[in-house]
Structure 1
Amino acid sequence: MLQELTIRNFAIIESLNLSFQEGMTVLTGETGAGKSIIIDALGLLVGGRGSVDFIRHGEEKLEIQGLFTINRQNKGCLEALENNGIDASDGMVVLERMLFQSGKNTCRINGKLATTVVLREIGSRLIDIHSQHEHQELMNDEFHLQLLDRFAWKDIEPTLASYQTEYAAYTEMKTKWRNWTKNEQELAQRLDMLRFQQDEIASANLRLGEEEGLVEQKHVLANFEKINESLQNAYTALQGEERGLEFISEAMRHVETASDILPEYKALSESVASSFYLLEESAMQIRQQLDKLEFQPDELDTIETRLNELSQLKRKYGKTVEAIIQYNEEIDQEILELSDRETHLGQLEQDLEKAKNRLSELASELTAIRQKAATQLGKQIKNELNQLYMEKAIFQVNFATQTNEFTENGVDKVAFYMSTNPGEPLKALSKVASGGELSRMMLALKTIFSRHQGITSIIFDEVDTGVSGRVAQAIAEKIYAVAIGSQVLCISHLPQVAAMADHHFYISKATTENRTMTSVMSLSGDEKIEEISRMIAGIEVTDVTKQHANEMLTQAMKIKAQKQT
């Protein structure tokens, strides 16, 4: 449930802090005051598409924050939070979103940075926003299968998950089969190219670790003169005219003489002697290394040629020698398969047929689940429409199943058909429903789905478009019924809807210092009567309209009391 909402610098909203409660909350006000802007801000908060056009003129960024509480029944949200490493053990979720003029977008969930994809994943499980856009989706047959699956989700989800796994494997296998059935000339050209690559790699006689060894040898040969000079100087300092070792030998004899006289110099004598013998051994090793050193210009050329050969192979076949060897193993396998194309193609066709059969079985299971769910959905929608004064309406889910046309969601093509008047044939929803009828149809669907989704916050943005009179009253009562035990936020121009609300916010705008600002006021008592009177009368509020508004509120209280029992 949405508890708190903070909006900064969003469109004409400079700063807004709202607290929400359980039950039905209505937002009313003059057209253009900013009611839908608040819903747009909520949509952005839960992962909607952002635009710098949302940022209030003259400001660098907009900020939106929302505090939500979640219960244990909202398993989808809890799993999504856990999967993304977000702690919500206290039952609280804080969504934050900032959008900058530079285009930078920052999202946080409980203080942790998140992508808009993750924000949308979590947000869609916290709040369900119904707007005129969904009316457009309802008119699109492609959207109807999603609605049916959403209704039957608990029953269909395991089978659909298995089907989609098999479908991905089947699609990959079918792509391979298409590649194997290409033009014979293309396959022959492919085989020739692979054999050329195979020969080129084979002739290089690649060995693991060879390149590293060559680089080290090249380094030694490139620095031959410096190494030789350094060793010669070291040897000369020890054994040459400088007589380094002779001086140390003489020092060793003198300290040894002193230690013979005074034993406490024994350790010092041994230390000097040890150093002498170590340096003598080192001088011998330096001499040996000097004898081994031999500069061979041709060897350096050979190494550089080999390294250049390896470099060219890496540009063609892999970033390392290991990668080239791995690639060579892959082309060996492909050459083997291409050389024995008919056998391999036959095996692939057998595997493809088996995969197709498994996919067909799962698709049939999906169809059976959907057809059963369609019957249940039809009955529930009929019941809801009856309560919304569409008693004569007939609703049906029409299936157009193509057994060999597999898609990611099965083989079913689903469309909602309806007849709103007796004697009229069933037709596609897009061809028979008026604006008011679509509003009632969507409300019926929302009422049904609210029992299945586990989402406790539902937003209706002008769901009552195109209705009036007793239909408006029926819609008001239906929205209130959805709000029982959960939370509904509703933008409305209907006094009947406003009268049924548990909480009422009035949205207004004013111009100060040539800037337009939106403000929100919580209404109660006489203020609520005044606003409902304005909604009834339009411009001029009279004692009669106030009396009518008061009667509507009184009647609403009775209806709400009945629905609570």
Structure 2
Amino acid sequence: MLYSLHVKNLALIKEQEIEFTDGLNVLTGETGAGKSVLIGSVNLALGSKADKDLIRTGADYALVELTFFVDNEKTKKKIQEMDLPVEEDGTVILSRKIMDGRSICKVGGENVTVRQLRELGELLINIHGQNDNQTLLQRKKHLDILDSFAGKSVQEEKKKLKEVWSLHEEIKEKLEETDMDEATRKREQDLAAFELEEIENAELKEGEDEELETKYRRMANSLKITEAAGEARELLFGDEGGSASDAISSALQRLIQVSSYDESVKEVSDQLGDIDNLMTDLGHSLSAYLSDLEFDDEDYNATEERLDLINHLKDKYGKSIEAILEYADEKQKQLDILSNLEEEREKLRKKLDETKEEAKKLCAKISDIRKKNAKTLAMQMKQALIDLNFLDVQFRIDVIPNEDHITAGGYDEVIFMISTNPGEDLRPLSEIASGGELSRIMLALKTVFADQDDIASLIFDEIDTGISGVTAWKVSEKLGQLSSSHQIICITHLPQIAAMYDRHFLIKKGLSDSRTITSISSLSDEESIDELGRMLGAGEVTDAVRQNAREMRTKALETKA
């Protein structure tokens, strides 16, 4: 569950800390008080697009921090598989610091990407905003909803289908590529043969280019190297006297002459003797190196020509010798195909038919799974809709196969069919549902799915759009029912829903240091009665209005009990 939300310097919020509870957390307030900022802050912490304009004027940054408590072992395991930290007690802390031009995302103090935040958010909380209702009007969404309800049984078959259909499309592409007349075939064959021969004649060896480049670089710079090494040898071992070697030898002789007079002098002369021996070895090494630097023009030209050939092949066939050799293998395969084109195409056609037939069988299996689950989902949806004051509702999910339209996800079209009035035929949901009906249908879906997923927290942003009266009570009852097994955070304008609270928060605007701020406070039961009275629309909250609000709260508590 979401334990707390900490917001700082975001829009009109200076700094707020909100601690949520189990059950139903209700947030109310006047229109424009800043309720949307609250949902926006949660979305930001979960990786939605950040805009620098959200930073409170005069502040350098905005900060949003969410603290979750995870007690579901399956969810814990998924988080750990993402290599993200979970405290021993199940605490997971997400934070996002938004600055001008960038943001810093963290989980448990460790830096993460925005993508990781989104993936983690999908495991911890489900946010339903006002715009989500419109997705119910999209038929593709109906297919996604049904497949989500079917779960592993359909996902495993869809995975198999995706692999088969990917192979089918690959074969189909090869068949199209090899569809050519005789003249084109001959031209392609000659080109492949020419390129293959050019590569084979080069007799390339892996790593050869690096060795040649090292050798060529040394040969091309040999004059500079020879001059430097020669000068070094002259300074150390010059024949005209005054060299370092001569100086060391002379010094050694002088010390040897007096070493018998003092043991300490002998130690120094021994050390100098070691240096004299090293100088002799160094002289031999320098002479040998200078001797090796000698090369003839033929060797230099041959190396240059070989490198030119290799680089020419790199320009045509690949960035490295390994890539060129791989290209040659592909050309050999292409040449084999072109040499026996009709035979190869016949094999491809046969494989294409086989993969299509296999895909059809998988599509049929997936369709059967969908039809079975469609009946179950439709039955559960109907009951949930009746609970939400659709008194004579009919709900059906049509799964319509189309073998001529196979995709990686199957060949079905899924349509939600509904009738909300007695005597009316069922029609597609997109043709008849009003705004208020869509809100209730979405809530019914959330209720049905609540027992299937492992997400403990649900946020509803104004689920009450377009409803009132008895229907509002039915929605309130459904939220109360759902809150017995899930943490619900609900922004509402309706007192019927607000009365069902386990914790009630008030969002309001005010002034601080002559600046507008949005504040969020937890209400006591008496304060909540006053807020319910305001929501009843009576203007002044009189004793009679309070009594009405108390009766509404009592009814809500009885329903929850």
TM-score over 0.5 for the pair: yes
Structure 1 distance, partners of 2:71, 2:181, is: 60
Does the Cα contact within 8 Å between 1:415 and 1:428 map onto a contact in 2?
yes
Given the superposition, is the C-alpha separation of residues 422 and 276 from structure 1 closer, same or farther in structure 2, using an over 3 Å criterion?
A: closer
Does the Cα contact within 8 Å between 1:28 and 1:492 map onto a contact in 2?
yes
Given the superposition, is the C-alpha separation of residues 403 and 206 from structure 1 closer, same or farther in structure 2, using an over 3 Å criterion?
A: same
1:407 is aligned to 2:407: yes
Tell me by how many angstroms 1:67 deviates.
Answer: 0.4
Partner of 1:517: 517
Structure 2 distance, partners of 1:547, 1:285, is: 107
Does the Cα contact within 8 Å between 1:33 and 1:507 map onto a contact in 2?
yes
Aligned-partner SS, 1:97? strand
1:207 is aligned to 2:210: no
Structure 1 window deviating more from structure 2 (224-233 vs 512-521): it is 224-233
Structure 2 distance, partners of 1:59, 1:229, is: 62
Given the superposition, is the C-alpha separation of residues 527 and 230 from structure 1 closer, same or farther in structure 2, using an over 3 Å criterion?
A: closer
1:105 is aligned to 2:132: no
What letter is aligned with 1:382? K
Given the superposition, is the C-alpha separation of residues 349 and 106 from structure 1 closer, same or farther in structure 2, using an over 3 Å criterion?
A: farther
Given the superposition, is the C-alpha separation of residues 466 and 234 from structure 1 closer, same or farther in structure 2, using an over 3 Å criterion?
A: closer
Structure 1 distance, partners of 2:157, 2:553, is: 49
Does the Cα contact within 8 Å between 2:226 and 2:293 map onto a contact in 1?
no
Kindly report which structure 2 residues correspond to 1:297-312, keeping only aligned pairs within 5 A, or say none: 297-312=297-312
What letter is aligned with 1:168? S
Aligned-partner SS, 2:452? helix
Structure 2 distance, partners of 1:520, 1:331, is: 70
Structure 1 distance, partners of 2:151, 2:126, is: 16
Given the superposition, is the C-alpha separation of residues 186 and 64 from structure 1 closer, same or farther in structure 2, using an over 3 Å criterion?
A: farther
Partner of 1:114: 112
Given the superposition, is the C-alpha separation of residues 343 and 421 from structure 1 closer, same or farther in structure 2, using an over 3 Å criterion?
A: same
Partner of 1:52: 52
Aligned length: 557
Given the superposition, is the C-alpha separation of residues 158 and 540 from structure 1 closer, same or farther in structure 2, using an over 3 Å criterion?
A: same
Structure 1 window deviating more from structure 2 (498-507 vs 199-208): it is 199-208
Structure 1 distance, partners of 2:195, 2:176, is: 24
Given the superposition, is the C-alpha separation of residues 430 and 286 from structure 1 closer, same or farther in structure 2, using an over 3 Å criterion?
A: closer
Structure 1 window deviating more from structure 2 (523-532 vs 298-307): it is 298-307
Does the Cα contact within 8 Å between 1:224 and 1:295 map onto a contact in 2?
no
Partner of 1:536: 536
Given the superposition, is the C-alpha separation of residues 36 and 209 from structure 1 closer, same or farther in structure 2, using an over 3 Å criterion?
A: closer
Structure 2 distance, partners of 1:266, 1:440, is: 104
Structure 2 distance, partners of 1:281, 1:557, is: 100
Structure 1 distance, partners of 2:514, 2:549, is: 35
Given the superposition, is the C-alpha separation of residues 433 and 222 from structure 1 closer, same or farther in structure 2, using an over 3 Å criterion?
A: closer
- Residue among 89, 106, 124 paired with 2:122: 124
Given the superposition, is the C-alpha separation of residues 201 and 544 from structure 1 closer, same or farther in structure 2, using an over 3 Å criterion?
A: same
Cα deviation code 1:231-268 (max 9, x no counterpart): 698599879676989x979x99x989x99xxxxx9999
Structure 1 distance, partners of 2:438, 2:278, is: 99
Structure 1 window deviating more from structure 2 (512-521 vs 524-533): it is 512-521
Tell me by how many angstroms 1:224 deviates.
Answer: 4.6
1:96 is aligned to 2:95: yes
Tell me by how many angstroms 1:170 deviates.
Answer: 3.1
Tell me by how many angstroms 1:422 deviates.
Answer: 1.5
Aligned-partner SS, 2:539? coil
Given the superposition, is the C-alpha separation of residues 28 and 284 from structure 1 closer, same or farther in structure 2, using an over 3 Å criterion?
A: closer
Does the Cα contact within 8 Å between 2:45 and 2:66 map onto a contact in 1?
yes
Given the superposition, is the C-alpha separation of residues 72 and 182 from structure 1 closer, same or farther in structure 2, using an over 3 Å criterion?
A: farther
Tell me by how many angstroms 1:498 deviates.
Answer: 1.0
Partner of 1:560: 560
Does the Cα contact within 8 Å between 2:401 and 2:412 map onto a contact in 1?
yes
Cα deviation code 1:366-389 (max 9, x no counterpart): 111111111011111111111122
1:549 is aligned to 2:536: no
Partner of 1:3: 3
Cα deviation code 1:496-542 (max 9, x no counterpart): 11111111111101244553211112112221111111111243323
What letter is aligned with 2:367? T
Structure 2 distance, partners of 1:52, 1:462, is: 26
Structure 1 window deviating more from structure 2 (496-505 vs 539-548): it is 539-548
TM-score between the two structures when normalised by the length of structure 1: 0.87
Tell me by how many angstroms 1:65 deviates.
Answer: 0.6
Give unmatched runs, 5+ long, in structure 2. Answer: none
Aligned-partner SS, 1:107? strand
Partner of 1:458: 458
Given the superposition, is the C-alpha separation of residues 513 and 180 from structure 1 closer, same or farther in structure 2, using an over 3 Å criterion?
A: farther
Partner of 2:154: 156
Given the superposition, is the C-alpha separation of residues 270 and 53 from structure 1 closer, same or farther in structure 2, using an over 3 Å criterion?
A: closer
Structure 1 window deviating more from structure 2 (332-341 vs 273-282): it is 273-282
Kindly report which structure 2 residues correspond to 1:305-320, keeping only aligned pairs within 5 A, or say none: 305-320=305-320
Partner of 2:142: 144
Does the Cα contact within 8 Å between 1:23 and 1:486 map onto a contact in 2?
yes
What letter is aligned with 2:130? Q
Partner of 1:437: 437
Tell me by how many angstroms 1:412 deviates.
Answer: 1.2
RMSD: 3.6
Structure 2 distance, partners of 1:465, 1:290, is: 90
TM-score between the two structures when normalised by the length of structure 2: 0.88
Structure 1 window deviating more from structure 2 (390-399 vs 86-95): it is 86-95
Aligned-partner SS, 1:50? coil
Kindly report which structure 2 residues correspond to 1:51-70, keeping only aligned pairs within 5 A, or say none: 51-70=51-70
Partner of 2:503: 503
Structure 2 distance, partners of 1:49, 1:400, is: 38
Tell me by how many angstroms 1:99 deviates.
Answer: 2.3
Given the superposition, is the C-alpha separation of residues 201 and 471 from structure 1 closer, same or farther in structure 2, using an over 3 Å criterion?
A: same
Given the superposition, is the C-alpha separation of residues 195 and 11 from structure 1 closer, same or farther in structure 2, using an over 3 Å criterion?
A: farther
Aligned-partner SS, 2:447? helix
Cα deviation code 1:133-166 (max 9, x no counterpart): 1110011111111111121214323223333333
Does the Cα contact within 8 Å between 1:128 and 1:458 map onto a contact in 2?
yes
Partner of 1:262: none
Partner of 2:343: 343
Kindly report which structure 2 residues correspond to 1:9-408, keeping only aligned pairs within 5 A, or say none: 9-72=9-72, 75=74, 77-88=75-86, 89-102=88-101, 104-181=102-179, 190-218=188-216, 219-220=218-219, 222-224=221-223, 226-227=225-226, 230=229, 234=233, 294-408=294-408
Tell me by how many angstroms 1:310 deviates.
Answer: 2.3
Aligned-partner SS, 1:507? strand
What letter is aligned with 2:202? A
Tell me by how many angstroms 1:365 deviates.
Answer: 1.6
Structure 2 distance, partners of 1:488, 1:39, is: 13
Does the Cα contact within 8 Å between 1:235 and 1:287 map onto a contact in 2?
no
What letter is aligned with 1:558? E
Structure 2 distance, partners of 1:269, 1:469, is: 111
